[in-house]
C-alpha cells in the first residue's frame, strides 16, 4: 500500500511538472506588482522545477507533518485538507450509505417479489441512472435545491444494485438453494439463511469499490454544488496546477481508496468459515 501511494504521488508530481506552461502564472502578468514580487514568485516556482528534488523534499517535510503551501490558495495544504476532509467524508459517507441501502433493499425486494413488472421497473430505474453523467445529476440537485449527498447516492445505487442482483441471481441457481426452495422453505428464509451467506463475501468486496466510485463522483458534485470539500479542492488545484496541493490530494485519495479496499478484504477474510 505504501509503495502504491508513494509511486502514485511521484507520478502525479511528474505529470504536473511536465505539463505545458507549468512555470507560467497569470499573476506574474499583473502590472501592479513590483519586479521583486514577481522575481520572488519565479524563485518559488523554480524550487519545484527539479521534480526529484521537489519530491524528496516534499516527502521529508511530509514526515514532519508539513505538506507545503498551496500556490493558488496561498494557505498551508495541511490546513486546507484538514478543513475539507470532514466535509467530503460526510458527503461520501452519507451518499455511500444511502446508495447501498437503496440498492440492497431493491435487489432483495426483486428477489423476494417474483413479479416481472416490479423487476422491470427496478432494472429500468437503475439502468436509466447508469446512463446519466454524475455532473448532470449534480446539476439536477442544484436546480432542485436537494442535498448533494443524494446525487452521490444515485451514482452509487445503480452500480451496486446491478452487481448485487447479478450475485443474487447466480446464488439462486446453486443446487442447495434450488433444493431448499423445492422443499418449500419460505423465500425470506432462503434469502437470509442460504443466499446471503453465499453472496455476502462478494458484496463486502464491493464496499471498497463503492467508496472509490463515490469519491470520483464527489468532484463534479462538489464543484457544481459549491461544496467546499476535497472534490472542489482537487478541481481548483487541477485548474491552478498547484503542485503541492495536487500531490497531497493524490496521496489522500489513494490512501482512502486503498484503505477502503483493504478494510473490505479484511472483513471478508474474517467472515469466511474456517476449517476445524
Partner 1 sequence: MNKLRRLSFALLLAIVLASLGADFLAPAGYATQFRETPNSPPTRAHLLGTDALGRDRLARTLYGTRVSLLLAPAAALLSTLLAGMIGGFAGYVGGAWQKASMAFTDLFLSLPWLFLLITVRALLPLNVSPTASVMVTFALLGILGWAASARVVCAGAAGMRDSEFVLLARASGIGRARLLFIHILPNLKPVLLAQFWLSIPIFILAEANLGILGLGVAEPLPSWGSLLRELEDLATFSGEFWKLVPLALLVVVVTSFQFLISHNEVSA
Residues of this chain that interact with partner 1 (CB under 8 A) are 4, 7-8, 11-12, 15-16, 19-21, 127-128, 130-136, 139, 142-143, 212-213, 215-217, 219-220, 223-224, 234-235, 238-239, 241, 246, 250, 253-254, 257-258, 261
| Paired strand residues for 69 | 76
Q: 73 vs 191, which CB is nearer to partner 1?
A: 73
Q: 127 vs 197, which CB is nearer to partner 1?
A: 127
CA distance readout (Å), 175 to 168, 179, 183, 191, 196: 14, 6, 12, 14, 15
Cβ 236 to partner 1, closest distance in Å? 10
Q: Which residues contact 164 (CB under 8 A, 6 or more apart)?
A: 103, 104, 107, 199, 203, 206
Q: What is the DSSP letter of 194?
A: I
Cβ 4 to partner 1, closest distance in Å? 6
Q: 203 vs 252, which CB is nearer to partner 1?
A: 252
Cβ 103 to partner 1, closest distance in Å? 17
Residues 267, 271, 274, CA angle at the centre, nearest 5°? 135
Cβ 189 to partner 1, closest distance in Å? 29
Residues 91, 222: Cα–Cα separation, whole Å: 9
Q: 121 vs 192, which CB is nearer to partner 1?
A: 121
Cβ 182 to partner 1, closest distance in Å? 26
Q: Determine the 3-state secondary structure of 149 from DSSP.
A: helix
Q: 190 vs 233, which CB is nearer to partner 1?
A: 233
Q: 141 vs 190, which CB is nearer to partner 1?
A: 141
Q: 142 vs 180, which CB is nearer to partner 1?
A: 142
CA distance readout (Å), 34 to 29, 30, 31, 73, 84: 11, 9, 8, 20, 34
* Residue 63, all three cell numbers: 514526515
Cβ 147 to partner 1, closest distance in Å? 17
**32-64: b or e for each residue (b if 16 or more CB lie within 10 Å)?**
eeeeeeeeeeeeebeebeebeebbeebeeebee
Cβ 54 to partner 1, closest distance in Å? 15
Q: Among residues 165, 156, 140, which one has the least CA distance to residue 216?
A: 156
- Check if the beta carbon of residue 171 is closer than 8 Å to that of residue 148: no
Amino acid at each position: 500500500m505504501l509503495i502504491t501511494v508513494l509511486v502514485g504521488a511521484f507520478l502525479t508530481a511528474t505529470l504536473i511538472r511536465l505539463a505545458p506552461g507549468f512555470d507560467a502564472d497569470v499573476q506574474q502578468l499583473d502590472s501592479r506588482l513590483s519586479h521583486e514580487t514577481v522575481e520572488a514568485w519565479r524563485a518559488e516556482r523554480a524550487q519545484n522545477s527539479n521534480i526529484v528534488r521537489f519530491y524528496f523534499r516534499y516527502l521529508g517535510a511530509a514526515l514532519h507533518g508539513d505538506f507545503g503551501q498551496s500556490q493558488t490558495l496561498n494557505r498551508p495544504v495541511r490546513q486546507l485538507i484538514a478543513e475539507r476532509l470532514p466535509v467530503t467524508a460526510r458527503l461520501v459517507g452519507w451518499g455511500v450509505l444511502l446508495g447501498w441501502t437503496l440498492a440492497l433493499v431493491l435487489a432483495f425486494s426483486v428477489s423476494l417479489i417474483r413479479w416481472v413488472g416490479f423487476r422491470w421497473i427496478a432494472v429500468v430505474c437503475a439502468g436509466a441512472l447508469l446512463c446519466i453523467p454524475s455532473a448532470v445529476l449534480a446539476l439536477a440537485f442544484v436546480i432542485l435545491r436537494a442535498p448533494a449527498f443524494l446525487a452521490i447516492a444515485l451514482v452509487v445505487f445503480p452500480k451496486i444494485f446491478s452487481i448485487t442482483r447479478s450475485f443474487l441471481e447466480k446464488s439462486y441457481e446453486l443446487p442447495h438453494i434450488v433444493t431448499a426452495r423445492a422443499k418449500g422453505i419460505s423465500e425470506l428464509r432462503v434469502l437470509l439463511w442460504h443466499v446471503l451467506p453465499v453472496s455476502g463475501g462478494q458484496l463486502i468486496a464491493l464496499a471498497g469499490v463503492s467508496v472509490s466510485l463515490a469519491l470520483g463522483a464527489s468532484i463534479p458534485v462538489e464543484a457544481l454544488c459549491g461544496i467546499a470539500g476535497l472534490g472542489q479542492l482537487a478541481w481548483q488545484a487541477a485548474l491552478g496546477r498547484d503542485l503541492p496541493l495536487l500531490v497531497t490530494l493524490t496521496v489522500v485519495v489513494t490512501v482512502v481508496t486503498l484503505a477502503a479496499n483493504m478494510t473490505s478484504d479484511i472483513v471478508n477474510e474474517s467472515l469466511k468459515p474456517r476449517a476445524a
